[in-house]
Amino acid sequence: MQYRLMLAFLCGLVPPLPALAQDDLPFTAADIEAAQYGLGDLPPGRSALTAKVQILLDRSGTSPGVIDGYKGGMSQSAIMAFERRAALPVDGIMDPHVWNLLQAYAVRPVTQAYTITQADAEGLVDHIPTDYAEKAQMEAMAYTSVAERLGERFHMDEKFIQFLNPGIDLVPGATIQVMAPNPPLKGQVARIIIDKENRRVAGYNARGDMVVDYPATIGSAATPSPEGTHNVRTVALNPNYTYNPDVNFRQEGNDTKLVVPPGPNGPVGTVWIGLTKPTYGIHGTPTPSQLFRNQSNGCVRLTNWDAEELAGMVAIGGTTVEFLPTGMTIAEATGAPSPTVPTPQIALPEGTQTPEVPVTETPLSLPDETAATTLPQTAPLEAEPEAPLDAEPEVPPADPLSNALSDALPEGFVVPPVEDTQP
């Protein structure tokens, strides 16, 4: 009896151990495969279920940005886009309707094993400086680590790669677990709608069907994105970038024109889609996990892999780009319905009848094989000045980048999609 009283007394004196935060709970690729939806919204913090939902959204063409397992703003905006396409009530909250429809993209495993190659560890740089004069002295705005390179390849946050592979050094020969995205979607995007309110960029085909929808950084309060409707004028992969303080922002200490070499960590990432609106475009970013935190000088930033996918679906002179007025959403612009839908039973993997995957448009006609694999060397890419530049006669006004690319790219050239096979 005395022992029990003493034990109770000691337990009363010792405070209970704090519960592990959601972020501290480890999970594996197998846990992601086994994750099933119950009821209610996604759990807070990082979870295997959220990682599974993110990869299924990614495969559907409604990008969550980086896959990191966290319930956050980009994933919520992707669920909203998915609901809008499916004519569901648009609230961004996970529910049985969304889960059931996502099973169309779960017909194969959502994770995969990958063995790191020697090529994955080559061509890296120690760091990317912030000073443009130092950037201009580098050979390439290359990846800084194997994790960063594989993160872009598998649409993952590089820290999430480490999370799924604790204790494994990311060196050639190591086998790790990563997510399994689909190859880039193929089709034709005739209309791009840019939603400043929800920070999304949606692509529609000529029939008015949504093909893709991406999270984006869209301008800033100081340098907002343009208004109105414009057209795609140029497309280039892996462009370099020209810092020009005479027509652009001025970085302290750098008063002369500088050419920054190309690479995934360049100011516009791996893609430039120039518009007929002078100095503006849609492009990649060196910081994909920061899309909803960063600001731009007026252009529209996507993850590099989303920008590459979109570049393969636009047509020069044949794709319009519509910047919605502040406060207007894509749902309002397209008249997307928000019906009241009865709650269905939750789909399970065994014996589940998966809905038919939406059919995309006929793939683009590509140039010959050589042109499809080798992009002409592009001229320096101009940064984003606030004032328009002089227009060429009898063509839409163009920024310095578009003028340079007009000489480097053949008329009507569209960048081919990224190769379907994973390295």
CATH code of 392's domain? 2.40.440.10
Q: In the predicted model, what is the mean pLDDT of residues 257-271?
A: 94
Express as a percent the part of the chain with pLDDT over 90. Answer: 62
- Given 182, 199, 234, the domain boundary residue is 182
Which tokens in the block code for residue 141?
A: 């705005």
How would residue 255 be classed by pLDDT, with cut points 50, 70 and 90?
confident
Q: In the predicted model, what is the mean pLDDT of residues 41-61?
A: 97
- Given 182, 203, 228, the domain boundary residue is 182
380, 196, 391, 271: CA torsion to nearest 10: 20
Q: How far apart are the first and last CA of the chain?
A: 68
Do 99 and 176 belong together in one domain?
Answer: yes
Q: Are strands 175-179 and 111-115 parallel, antiparallel or unpaired?
A: antiparallel
Is the pLDDT confidence value at 9 over 90? no
Domain that holds residue 325: 191-333+363-408
How would residue 3 be classed by pLDDT, with cut points 50, 70 and 90?
very low
Do 46 and 149 belong together in one domain?
Answer: yes
**Distance set, CA 200 to CA 23, 78, 86, 212, 284 (Å):** 27, 9, 17, 10, 14
pTM: 0.77
How far is residue 56's CA from residue 336's CA, in Å, rounded to a whole number? Answer: 22
Is the pLDDT confidence value at 203 over 50? yes
How would residue 2 be classed by pLDDT, with cut points 50, 70 and 90?
very low
Express as a percent the part of the chain with pLDDT over 70. Answer: 72
Q: State the average pLDDT for the chain.
A: 80
Q: How many domains does the chain have?
A: 2
How far is residue 157's CA from residue 147's CA, in Å, rounded to a whole number? Answer: 9
Is the pLDDT confidence value at 211 over 80? yes
Do 170 and 44 belong together in one domain?
Answer: yes
pLDDT value at position 369? 33
Catalytically active residues are 283, 299
How would residue 370 be classed by pLDDT, with cut points 50, 70 and 90?
very low
How far is residue 281's CA from residue 236's CA, in Å, rounded to a whole number? Answer: 11
User: What is the rounded radius of gyration, in angstroms, for the C-alpha atoms of the chain?
Assistant: 23
Do 196 and 326 belong together in one domain?
Answer: yes
- Given 163, 182, 201, the domain boundary residue is 182
Q: Beta strands of 216-335 (E only): which ranges?
A: 217-218, 228-237, 241-243, 258-260, 271-275, 281-283, 300-301, 320-323
**Helix locations, 28-145, DSSP H:** 29-34, 48-60, 73-85, 96-102, 132-136
Do 206 and 173 belong together in one domain?
Answer: no
Give the least confident one: 46-55, 184-193, 340-349.
340-349
Three-class DSSP category at 105 = helix
How far is residue 252's CA from residue 135's CA, in Å, rounded to a whole number? Answer: 14
What is the SS3 string spanning 312-367?
A: CCCCCCCCEEEECCCCCCHHHHHCCCCCCCCCCCCCCCCCCCCCCCCCCCCCCCCC
Flag whether 423 is in a domain.
Answer: no
